[in-house]
């Protein structure tokens, strides 16, 4: 069977929409992950045993189990917890973003924890000597510096999650891989379609890498060393 590259060319508008949806899903999941990750990082660094234990349990669970399994768990668990008799329209998108956000939160928690712990302890002591409470020192002194230092690993997490978003095809979300697979099945041209999908992922990851490098330079991360 010959390769029909026209199938991939004619599908560019569909792939463009699918790529945009992939970026939106990933950005939403990373935003959720940043909020959860910061909370869990602070919980893991807390001296309160219950908070620290809860944060460690969360991080270990979502880092130690496959994202594919987590997608299924979230997809089937949310309706049970909320006692939904009927699933809302586009429910799979809600479940997909939630699953990726929860997964991302565990990895981002470790990124934030490492960033916070990389700040010299003298910074906290200096802030406390000026009359700041621990929370004030964390909010005004430690976290702003930590955020600058964690930009590169956060960018790597964004890229990793962007590629892992292809797993959402298992719950029929029309992201880039799912759309490519549908078109490949309809046109019987899997190789051109999957190559096209790979190129889309490559372009998106390169753009994110360039953006991260720009942000790192702009925030002057190297000046903190």
pLDDT digits (tens, 9 = 90+) for 36-46: 999 999 999 99
pLDDT at 198 over 80: yes
pLDDT at 87 over 80: yes
Averaged pLDDT for residues 150-171: 94
What lies within 8 Å, CB to CB, of 35 at 6+ separation is 105
Report residue 79 as tokens: 């309706």
Whether the CB-CB separation of 219 and 151 falls below 8 Å is answered with yes
Confidence of residue 222 (pLDDT cuts 50, 70, 90): low
Separation between Cα atoms, residue 33 and residue 38, nearest integer Å: 8
What's the confidence (pLDDT) of residue 82?
A: 87
What's the confidence (pLDDT) of residue 124?
A: 77
What's the confidence (pLDDT) of residue 104?
A: 97
Separation between Cα atoms, residue 55 and residue 58, nearest integer Å: 5
The CATH H-level superfamily of 5-220 is MetI-like (1.10.3720.10)
When the pLDDT of each residue in the chain is averaged and rounded to a whole number, the result is: 91
Q: Please tell me which residue, 97 or 217, carries the higher pLDDT value.
A: 97
């Amino acid at each position: 069977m010959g390769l029909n590259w026209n199938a991939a060319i004619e599908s560019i508008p569909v792939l463009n929409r699918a790529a945009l949806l992939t970026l939106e899903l990933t950005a939403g999941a990373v935003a959720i992950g940043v909020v959860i990750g910061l909370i869990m990082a602070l919980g893991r660094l807390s001296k309160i045993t219950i908070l620290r234990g809860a944060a460690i349990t969360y991080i270990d669970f979502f880092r130690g189990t496959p994202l594919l399994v987590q997608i299924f768990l979230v997809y089937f668990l949310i309706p049970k917890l909320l006692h939904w008799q009927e699933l809302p329209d586009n429910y799979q998108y809600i479940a997909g973003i939630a699953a990726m956000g929860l997964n991302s939160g565990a990895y981002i928690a470790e990124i934030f924890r490492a960033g916070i712990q990389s700040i010299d302890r003298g910074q906290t002591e200096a802030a406390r000597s000026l009359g700041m409470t621990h929370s004030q020192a964390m909010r005004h002194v430690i976290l702003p510096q930590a955020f600058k230092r964690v930009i590169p690993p956060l960018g790597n997490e964004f890229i990793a999650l962007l590629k892992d978003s292809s797993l959402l095809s298992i719950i029929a979300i029309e992201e880039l891989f799912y759309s490519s697979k549908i078109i490949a099945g309809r046109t019987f041209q899997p190789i051109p379609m999957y190559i096209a999908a790979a190129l889309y992922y490559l372009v998106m990851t390169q753009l994110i890498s360039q953006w991260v490098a720009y942000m790192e330079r702009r925030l002057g991360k190297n000046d903190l060393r």
